Chains A and B, each alone.
Chain A
Amino acid sequence: MPDHSVATGFLAGHDFARLLSALAGQGYRCIGPTVRDGALVYDTLGGVEDLPTGVQISQGPGSFRVEFNQGTRHFDWANGPQALKPLLFTSREILWQVQRSADGELQFSQQDPEPVPTAVIGVRACDLAALRLQDRHFVEADVPDVGYTARRRRLFLVAVNCSRPADTCFCASTGDGPAATRGYDLVLDELDDGFIASAGSKRGNELLALLPLQPVSAEQRQAAAEATEGAVAMQHRQLPGRNLRDQLFANLDHPQWEVVATRCLSCGNCTSVCPTCFCYREVDQPALDRESARHYREWDSCFTQGHSYIHGFVVRPDTRLRYRQWLTHKLGGWHDQYGRSGCVGCGRCITWCPVGIDITEEVSAIAAVPT
């Protein structure tokens, strides 16, 4: 007889598949991490066997390597290039379409989105913090984004607390990790022989009731707490403060902007992997018969020339101005617009920068807080 009051329990490793089948039984498509082409991507899981097992990831500035150890853990790594953002704020999406009649009349239409309910396994604390910011931007807006909002409402989140941060991680300094504290339906602490599973929502509680949970021992709790403490201690990168707005805007002519611009390729990798970057462009795609057109939005980056184009003039023609725009917005303007910094310390922009630019080093050089 399942106990419906259960909020926490130990799920043995060999029972982990039951979590996926319980979610599938409730109509969720399960998405989770899987190793592909030397990277770690989030995609549909056929079963537990699709999860990485005994995989460790070595990350550094401009470097990401999947390595194998002899372990049995599935989540013994920090993160891959992307997690939640592409599932909600999709890289390309139709906004509306228009039909043109023979006499030139235009008929605009849009379809109500009907997304598949999706459960994501292996969400990190940094990604939950980023999700909270994207929710503020796309859902809690004057004009909520229809597609994002529909997908968000059908999302079930299974967080896994981080026990092995990457060399590039600095979530402890932004206050967003390594342990997930809110915004999930379930949170797991991974131990060698299974998981401590705790509910964070009514739906999460209902799901736990379907699983063969055992009481959590004091030793297991202790091991989970030590893993979190260890994950904090392992991080050696940090931002020089949680609110750097005033220091950044006071240093708009700092020579370091020029220094970083000589290395930055203005490629936009950082904005693609950043879980909070939200810029998109709108593009119109006419059908070949010229009778209809589809209006799309697709990811854009403030590192492109087109981003700041106005009537024959580019506001930010060079890399120095684009890098400065990105950083002063991410770590400065966000405080006024969203009540906090736009950086959650996931370190992806460091790992996936082809020339290994480290945001924590650049910020420390430009906006060091006087002690």
Chain B
Amino acid sequence: MTIASHFPYEAEVIERCQESPTIFTLVLRLTDPVIASEYRFTPGQFNMLYLFGVGEIPISIVSDPERPGKLIHTIRDVGRVSHGFSQLGVGDRIGLRGPFGRGWPLVQLEGQDIMIVTGGLGCAPVVSVINYILRRRERYGRLVILQGVKHSSDLIWRERYAEWEKQDNTQVLLAADVGGTPWPGFVGPITVLFEHARFNPQQTVAMMCGPERMIHAAADVLVERGLQAWDIWISMERNMQCAVGQCGHCQFGSSFVCRNGPVYRYPDAGELLAKRGF
């Protein structure tokens, strides 16, 4: 049995955490024990979360795939459905179907150095990767985390970045277009961080998400620095309503982001990514 279809199942909010004035995290549990025991996902995949009487939105799963009993979703209060979700508390019930799409190739990348590049507030899809790698640190080489934000006050989880930085063989670099005090990072676009990142392009695989223009610019720099474009993976966002490749909203070139993505090898998305309107 799979619940990755049109039909949702009930889930209960078992924890709620306010991460910033507009960002919050819901920890969910599928209430049907049979469905819950069969549910499996890969980091980078997403669920469709349904708010009663309002609608559904696609939300990336940031929890660990080996703990599918607690499904963690970090959400920004930005639209009609997400605002409704921001009002929920522990014990409230919603609908959940998933997981959908193709996640990050984490098992395939064991033994490699990993670079994570994220921009804006769209860091949730790669936070699952960082958590995954840190829990299995010995399976991966060097870990470099580059995070760019518009304003220094946009950065959530500062303490986590501080914690990640203390790990062995791990480098964390932050950049803000607009700095503030105190701001431990650099001021400027994320691409300034590449000058300070220490990595061996021969054995590094990059995973990126965030604004597409940033992804495109960052990928150009990485390729200049000697990374193979093939070794750059990105996570994309589009309007998603059915999540099973039928409603057409996430149409991107010759693929449906919900089914063929949201994680792509950079060259598979590359050229259209730079074109406005796809």
Contact = CB atoms under 8 A, between A and B. Distances in A.
Contacts of B4: 143
Interface residues of A, number: 53
B236 to A, nearest CB: 10
Interface stretch (B61-69, B91-99, B213-221): B91-99
Interface stretch (A80-88, A197-205, A280-288, A347-355): A280-288
A290 B53 contact: yes
Contacts of A283: 55
Interface residues on B, range: 35 or more
Interface stretch (A95-103, A114-122, A209-217): A95-103
Interface in B78-136: 78-79, 82, 91-95
Contacts of A137: 246
Given A106-B94, A324-B277, A297 B254 contact: no
Given A279-B247, A282-B247, A336-B254, A104 B93 contact: yes
B154 interface: no
Given A106-B95, A302-B251, A333-B251, A284 B277 contact: no
Contacts of A310: 237-239
A280 B248 contact: yes
Contact of B238 (A98, A280, A315): A315
B92 to A, nearest CB: 6
Interface stretch (B6-14, B167-175, B180-188, B225-233): B6-14
Contacts of A300: 247-249
Given A293-B53, A310-B238, A98 B278 contact: no
B242 interface: yes
Nearest to A312: B78
B275 interface: yes
Nearest to A320: B277
Interface in B46-83: 50, 52-56, 76, 78-79, 82
Contacts of A108: 7-10, 95
Contact of B275 (A100, A252, A280, A295): A252
Interface string A259-295: 0000000000000000000111111101000100101
A278 B52 contact: no
Given A95-B7, A311-B76, 8 more contacts: A104-B93, A142-B245, A279-B248, A280-B241, A283-B55, A284-B54, A325-B251, A337-B255
6 contacts: A106-B93, A252-B275, A279-B248, A280-B247, A286-B54, A333-B253
